[in-house]
Structure 1
Amino acid sequence: MWQCPKCGREFKNTSQDHYCGEPPKTIDAYIAAQPEGVQPYLNQVRATIRAVLPDAQERISWSMPTYWSKHNIIHFAAFKKHIGLYPGEKAVEYFTDRLTEYKTSKGAIQLPYSKPLPLELIAEIAKWCYETGKHH
């Protein structure tokens, strides 16, 4: 077990990514708590998802910005070198041919700050998750 030196939480993996402290209450608070250089990326992702999911509720779930309508639709989060997009395992499988230039894992897509954000693709993924309900 590894213990975070800042917050004291224990994890199986050494240097596990996590949010130390109290989770933010709103997406605005989440974005404001991130480094200044990361905030524009988060705002772009947020605006893109809001545009295609205007009826979804914005909330914080798992300490991440989340879009919800009867269930969690999609999440995103800031990391040191990338934005993590969490549409779920089925979405990553469905869009796999269009995600070849990104690192993916079960249910997650890493969008590095070193590349332009694929906003059109993010919009399509969010809409697909909402329409199909295949978010996990």
Structure 2
Amino acid sequence: MADKPTSVDAYLADQPPAERAVLQQIRATIHRAVPDTGEKISYAIPAATIDGRVFIFFAGWKAHVSVYPVPEGDAAFEKTIEPYNSGRGTLKFPLGEPIPYDLIAQVAVRLAERARNS
């Protein structure tokens, strides 16, 4: 079993090239959408933080990348995330298909707002 990564950079370095490229773009998308966020490894996957508290996770898998958790939203937002919502608080984005980075940015903003208000 591989050692658990100790940083987001280490996690990304361990990913196959295709997954790594997508995850690096997700990472950049989150930081652009929610400036001044930190990051760390939590539950052995990358997480973005606000004031040290995790508000969003992302991870690479064999056939997809995931973003966690799924924020609540209005009917239009729910319809937009529906194709990616795999239940259990996970959005799955299949590798080999276009990744909706704008949607991931919206998810990050919603989760950040929730974190700041809790």
TM-score in terms of structure 2 length: 0.86
Gaps of 5+ in 2: none
SS in 2 for 1:100: helix
SS in 2 for 1:42: helix
1:28 and 2:9 equivalent?
yes
CA–CA distance in structure 2, aligned partners of residues 24 and 32 of structure 1: 9
Contact 1:57-1:68 at 8 Å conserved across structures: yes
1:105 and 2:79 equivalent?
no
Counterparts of 1:1-136 in structure 2, within 5 Å, are: 7=1, 21-70=2-51, 71-88=53-70, 91=71, 93-94=72-73, 95-133=77-115
Show CA shifts across 1:52-102 (max 9, x none): 1221111000111101114210000000000011024xx0x4242112222
State the number of aligned residues: 112
Gaps of 5+ in 1: 1-6, 8-20
Higher relative contact order (CA 8 A, sep 6+): 2
Deviation at 1:103, TM superposition (A): 4.2
**Letter of the structure 2 residue corresponding to residue 69 of structure 1:** I
Deviation at 1:114, TM superposition (A): 2.4
TM-score in terms of structure 1 length: 0.75
**Letter of the structure 2 residue corresponding to residue 118 of structure 1:** P
Larger Rg: 1
Instruction: Kindly report the root-mean-square deviation, in angstroms, between the aligned alpha carbons of the 2 structures.
Output: 1.6
Question: More helix per residue: 1 or 2?
Answer: 2
Identity of aligned residues (%): 34
CA–CA distance in structure 2, aligned partners of residues 22 and 69 of structure 1: 26
